[in-house]
Amino acid sequence: MSPGWEQQLEDAAVQGLLNDMASTALGAMRRAVPVDTGKLRSSLFAEVNGTTLRFGAGAEIDYAWYVELGTRKMRAQPYIRPALDAIRSRYGR
């Protein structure tokens, strides 16, 4: 075995876990997001960069947070919170 194989194995395991979490988050968001035109749903993303997992709606969708949190005139239709719940349910806190 080459030197540092334990670290390489650990890094690969972390990357695999983060990629699986990204897939879980994206699936949960796609199931929960309300669809009118489909623009919000098609902007959803989940990405892993090193040891950072990011997911949400694309920046070009200026109404994404209004859908998630609601307004005075529109009830909340969360799609990001269910993604967090799915990750917590599958992997714990």
Q: How far is CA 78 from CA 6, 10, 18, 34, 55, in A?
A: 41, 34, 23, 9, 14
pLDDT (tens digit per residue) in 65-77: 999 999 999 999 9
- Residue 6 is predicted with a pLDDT of 75
Question: What is the pTM (predicted TM-score) of this model?
Answer: 0.84
The pLDDT, as a whole number, for residue 12 is 83
The tens digit of pLDDT for each residue in 1-39 reads 566 767 777 788 889 999 999 999 999 999 999 999 999
CB-based contact 32:83 (threshold 8 Å): yes
Query: Rounded to an integer, what distance in angstroms lies between the CA atom of residue 48 and that of residue 22?
Result: 7
Query: How far is Cα 51 from Cα 43, in angstroms, rounded to an integer?
Result: 23
Confidence of residue 85 (pLDDT cuts 50, 70, 90): very high
- Looking at residue 92, its pLDDT comes to 81
Task: Please tell me the distance from the alpha carbon of residue 2 to that of residue 18, in angstroms, as a whole number.
Answer: 25
Residue-range definition of the domain harbouring residue 83: 5-91
* Domain count along the chain: 1
